[in-house]
Structure 1
Amino acid sequence: MTNKTIISCALTGNLVKLEQHPALPITPKQIAEAALDARAAGAAIIHIHVRDPETGRPSMRLDLYREAVDRIRDSGSDLIINLTTGEGGRYAPSEDEPRVAGPGTTLAHPLKRVEHIVELKPDICSLDFNTMNSGQQVVINTPGNVRKMAKAIVEAGTKPELEVFDTGDIHLANDLIAEGLLPGKPFFQIVTGVKYGCSATVETLAYMKSLLPADAIWSAFGIGAREYPMLAAAHLLGGQVRVGMEDNIYIRRGQLTRDNAELVEQAVKVLDLLGAEPATPAEARAMLDLPAR
């Protein structure tokens, strides 16, 4: 087992509200600054969702992605940029007629969901394989739509991060790999602790890992209070790790984190106790078979 571990930092996500944490990065400037701070703390990859600067609500606007990415690139940082494609997959049935979309629905054409990837060509982007309950809504990623998104992502020269929430998601990803739609060494991100997804336990994570292709590189994370226990479990099982305010806004029980960088600093401390150290972006690029910069 290498002592170099890739730390990803998921900066803002789409569910945490500004009322829950006043330091949540919202504007492209804040997101870029949070990314650079996370890099200084030890992160090699930053995972980006954008928000409407006026309302703080999740957004799919290309101009917001462009500004955040340009700010990071123009800074000269060696960070590996990972953009989400998860927005646009949510469906909320209306109360009286379930076939009609109700408030909260964001369901969009699969190529609209990867428009910013095709345009900005980040190093990595997430590709969600889950169709599952999410609160009172449903996240929908049909096999056909995932295939369309995968094709556009690969043609843009971006490496898809295969985001899986349960065992069936891995089976679907393995099918796309077998079909040749996902060439090269696959990179999986195992999400644990989301309600109605796979549990944030060592046993569950070990089983999820057992379903991955032999040549896969993988990472995992836990939600909320399970963030650091699952970080330790992922490392000990041979995986990479992820932290960030998308997943957890507390540095310890009852105490809000200062910012994303503090969560990364804590990850570095835990890894140090386990005899590991954070991979640099250059080292992470080599591990992921990304082009050198």
Structure 2
Amino acid sequence: MLATGDLIINVALTGMIPTKQDNPHVPITEAEIIQDAIRCANAGASIFHIHARDSEGNPTPDPQVYARIIEGIRAECPEVILCVTTSGRNWHRFEQRAAVLDLDGKAKPDMASLTLSSLNFYQSPSINSPGMIMQLAEKMLEKQIQPELEVFDPGMINAAQYLLNKEYIKPPLYFNIILGSIYFTQANARDLAYLVDQLPAGSTWAAGGIGSCQLPVNTLAIVMGGQVRTGLEDNLWFDCEQHSPGTNEKYVRRLRELATILGRKIITPSEARKRVLGNSQPPA
């Protein structure tokens, strides 16, 4: 499939690793994350992948921190899709990873990340046992929170198909394909095309790259008719030479300009909700 249809921009705002020392624009506090999301929404982003930090700037699974962030973003941008992490990089107990899934009302997340196997990042592993994956998927299904299915290599797509067959997950399916680290699938057109070809029929997919791979992978996704994931979680620099620190808003605006050049219109948050979640109404 070549460039066609409206484009969804998904922004991974903060992540677990980046600090102000790495890039002064990384949003760390609740207020910074909220304001950064609002700026990116105004620039054209529809989905926000959220990691929370505590008062010391360290990653936290505290659901109340997530609740304040979600409510703060929704107060200004009620239709955007808000996705929370259930990452296995820092926490290994189900109760820690799943705590955010119990939020309800206006603080209820629309989506939650579900990494489909264990893997290594540059600094640390993300541990995701089959049992943990199924527990998290069951909890998301129970709470009517859609999984953001995270794929780093082909075996993870096999895992997603297994979960689909066993009804741990149900359509519509949304996949993030992340490429470019030394420990998982590399950032090239051949491998991205192969991964996309293996996805369950009817899936919505977005692609992003680590570090300097981010813009090339985003460009491939736009040309191939997919969606894009961008953000400071994955890439700290606006330029490949690492002279100019990036900002989430600048990444979104650059993708909007690139999409226009390549014939893709940016989708509205309401339209994104219908496509990704199957409904247009945010939690009440």
Class of the TM-score when normalised by the shorter of the 2 chains = over 0.9
1:118 CA drift (Å): 2.0
Q: Name the SS of the counterpart of 1:114 in structure 2.
A: helix
Q: Name the SS of the counterpart of 2:17 in structure 1.
A: coil
Task: Decide whether the 8 Å contact of 1:130 with 1:166 is kept in 2.
Answer: no
- Aligned twin of 1:116: 100
- Aligned twin of 1:176: 163
Task: Decide whether the 8 Å contact of 1:257 with 1:263 is kept in 2.
Answer: no
The whole-number CA distance in structure 2 between the counterparts of 1:232 and 1:23 is 23
Q: Name the SS of the counterpart of 2:48 in structure 1.
A: strand
Task: Decide whether the 8 Å contact of 1:121 with 1:156 is kept in 2.
Answer: no
The TM-score with structure 1 as length reference comes to 0.89
1:258 CA drift (Å): 5.2
Residues 167-195 of structure 1 show CA distances to partners (whole Å, capped at 9, x for unaligned) of 11111111000111101221111010122
Give the strand-richer structure, 1 or 2.
Answer: 1
Unpaired runs of 5+ residues, structure 1, are: 91-105
- Aligned twin of 1:208: 195
The range that moved more, 193-202 or 130-139, is 130-139
Q: Counterpart amino acid of 1:276?
A: R
The TM-score with structure 2 as length reference comes to 0.92
Residues 47-78 of structure 1 show CA distances to partners (whole Å, capped at 9, x for unaligned) of 11011232x22111222111111111222532
Give 1:83-98 correspondences, 5 Å limit. 83-86=84-87, 89-90=88-89
Of the candidates 270, 276, 279, which is equivalent to residue 258 of structure 2?
270
Of the candidates 27, 30, 43, which is equivalent to residue 28 of structure 1?
30
The whole-number CA distance in structure 2 between the counterparts of 1:250 and 1:207 is 28
- Aligned twin of 2:207: 220
- Aligned twin of 1:286: 274
Q: Name the SS of the counterpart of 1:234 in structure 2.
A: helix
Give 1:36-51 correspondences, 5 Å limit. 36-51=38-53
RMSD, aligned α-carbons: 1.5
Q: Counterpart amino acid of 1:263?
A: Y
Task: Decide whether the 8 Å contact of 2:119 with 2:126 is kept in 1.
Answer: yes
Of the candidates 232, 255, 263, which is equivalent to residue 243 of structure 2?
255
Of the candidates 3, 9, 13, which is equivalent to residue 11 of structure 2?
9
The whole-number CA distance in structure 2 between the counterparts of 1:244 and 1:135 is 18
Of the candidates 126, 130, 133, which is equivalent to residue 143 of structure 1?
130
**Equivalent pairs: percent with the same residue?**
34
The whole-number CA distance in structure 2 between the counterparts of 1:111 and 1:164 is 23
Task: Decide whether the 8 Å contact of 2:27 with 2:33 is kept in 1.
Answer: yes
Going from structure 1 to structure 2, the CA distance change for 1:58 and 1:151 (only over 3 Å counts) comes to same
Count residues in correspondence. 275
1:248 CA drift (Å): 1.1
1:277 CA drift (Å): 1.7
Q: Counterpart amino acid of 1:149?
A: L
Q: Counterpart amino acid of 2:226?
A: G
Task: Decide whether the 8 Å contact of 2:11 with 2:248 is kept in 1.
Answer: yes
The whole-number CA distance in structure 2 between the counterparts of 1:20 and 1:209 is 32
Residues 121-141 of structure 1 show CA distances to partners (whole Å, capped at 9, x for unaligned) of 311111111312233643211
Give 1:96-111 correspondences, 5 Å limit. 106-111=90-95
Residues 9-54 of structure 1 show CA distances to partners (whole Å, capped at 9, x for unaligned) of 1101011122011121011111000000000111011111011232
The whole-number CA distance in structure 1 between the counterparts of 2:124 and 2:214 is 24
- Aligned twin of 2:112: 125
> Structure 1 residue runs of 4+, over 6 Å off?
none
Q: Name the SS of the counterpart of 2:162 in structure 1.
A: helix
- Aligned twin of 1:165: 152
The whole-number CA distance in structure 2 between the counterparts of 1:63 and 1:107 is 17
Q: Counterpart amino acid of 1:256?
A: S
The whole-number CA distance in structure 1 between the counterparts of 2:114 and 2:233 is 16
The whole-number CA distance in structure 2 between the counterparts of 1:65 and 1:5 is 27
Residue 180 of structure 2 corresponds to residue 198 of structure 1: no
Task: Decide whether the 8 Å contact of 1:21 with 1:256 is kept in 2.
Answer: no
Q: Name the SS of the counterpart of 1:9 in structure 2.
A: strand
